[in-house]
Amino acid sequence: MNDEFYIGYEPTMPDRMAVRVRAAASALIVLAAMVPAVLLFAQRRSAAATFEFGRPRTFVGTVVEYPYPALLVQDSSHTSPAVYWLVGGGKHGASEIVKGRDGRMMRVSGTLIERDEDRMIEVASNDALVDIEAHRPTQIESIRSLGAVVVRGEIVDSKCHLGVMKPGEGPTHRDCAVRCLLGRITPMFVPQAGDAQVGRLALLDPDGRPFTDPLDTRVGRPVEIHGELLGRGPLRFVAARSIDVDGFHGGS
């Protein structure tokens, strides 16, 4: 056996050792480049959704207070107003901000969150909503039933899912979703891919009221909901009579 001996605090090491150490170091650098490439290959693509952080806009529309805060923005080119859900900053809803303002025409400054045809505005505070003078509050039609439904998909918190976080759904995001729902952000039902019969629906309890139950064991996992489809103006909700986690088996 050759007599090479390495003492760590000496500045140089025997040659045969140096060769091996250099080889090991190179191999590790190569590993550091390859492992992330492989992992990236395995990751799901993120949803096409936007959160215009730092770029607030102004919207004009009719405020909806119940069941969940929203703004109906009349676009001259469409007969039916566009729906913008309203949400507060951080993991908080906008219920306090819209309190007592149902039906009022207001100017709203906030940040746009958008995913497919669903839109949301994050409003920072009470001052974000400004009354437009010379407009009397209008009567938005009351909630009406649109028939029974059975749907499969996932319950999410609307703010993260619609664009603030990616992913804004699924098991790894669950803690955040629960936190958001506890902050009274609107819970939303998202149908599974391929289930085109309904779009995203704000979730109500069996009595058609906002959920007070934190839903924590039913968020971020596949569920089957038996309930009633409700509408208020152009807004769409599902009042869930039963929510079964893993209520169905088989592939997505």
Partner 1 sequence: MSTAYRAVGWNRQKRRYDAVVAAGVAVFLAMFIGGGMLIDQQATIETLMIRGCGAAATLLLHVVLAIGPLCRLDRRFLPLLYNRRHLGVTTFALALTHGVFALVQFHALGDVNPLVSVLVTSREYASLTDFPFQQLGVVALGILFLMAATSHDFWLRALSAPVWKSVHMLVYFAYALVIAHVALGALQAERHPVLPIVLCVGVAALLVLHLRAASLERGRDVERRLQPARIDPAPSEFVDACGVNEIAENRAKTVCLSGERVAIFRYDGRISAVSNVCRHQNGPLGEGKIVGGCIVCPWHGYEYEPASGRAPAPFTERLPTFSVRVAGGRVLVNPTPHPPGTYVEPAAFVAPCDTRAAS
Partner 2 sequence: MIRPLRRAHAVIMTTLAILLPLLIAAALVARRAG
With CB under 8 A as the contact rule, which of the stretches 22-30, 48-56, 89-97, 243-251 interacts with partner 2? 243-251
Binding residue for partner 2, selected from 73, 109, 183, 192, defined by CB under 8 A: 192
Q: Which of 155, 165, 202, 238 binds partner 1 (CB under 8 A)?
A: 165
Interface residue with partner 2 among 221, 226, 236, 241 (CB under 8 A) is 221
Judge whether 115 and 71 are in contact, CB under 8 Å. Answer: no
Rounded Cα distance between 162 and 181, Å, is: 14
For 114, counting Cβ atoms within 10 Å of its Cβ (0-12 exposed, 13-18 middle, 19+ buried), the class is middle
d(CA 113, CA 83): 12
Binding at 198: pick from partner 2, partner 1, none (beta carbon under 5-8 Å per type):
none
Binding window for partner 2 (CB under 8 A); candidates: 77-85, 141-149, 180-188, 242-250: 242-250
Contact indicator for 105, 60 with CB cutoff of 8 Å = yes
d(CA 247, CA 91) in angstroms, rounded, equals 29
Q: Which does 44 bind (CB under 5 to 8 A by kind): partner 1, partner 2, none?
A: partner 1
User: CA nearest 149: which of 193, 187, 201, 188?
Assistant: 201
Residue closer to partner 2, measured from CB, 88 or 191: 191
Q: Please state whether the peptide bond connecting residue 69 to the residue before it is cis, i.e. omega within 30 degrees of 0.
A: no
Which 3 state secondary structure label does DSSP give 200? coil
Q: Are 162 and 169 in contact (CB under 8 A)?
A: no
Give me the least distance between CB of 247 and partner 1, in Å please: 15
Instruction: Kindly identify the residues of this chain, within the stretch 16-75, that bind partner 1 according to CB under 8 A.
Output: 16-17, 20-21, 24-25, 28-29, 31-33, 35-49
Rule CB under 8 A: say whether 125 interacts with partner 1: no
Bin 237: left if φ > 0, else alpha if -120 < ψ < 50, else beta: beta
Q: Which two tokens stand for residue 121?
A: 């505005």
Interface residue with partner 1 among 58, 80, 217, 242 (CB under 8 A) is 217
Shortest separation between residue 251's beta carbon and partner 2, angstroms: 6
Residues that bind partner 1 (CB under 8 A): 1, 3, 5-13, 16-17, 20-21, 24-25, 28-29, 31-33, 35-49, 89-92, 165-167, 170-176, 178-180, 182-183, 216-217, 221
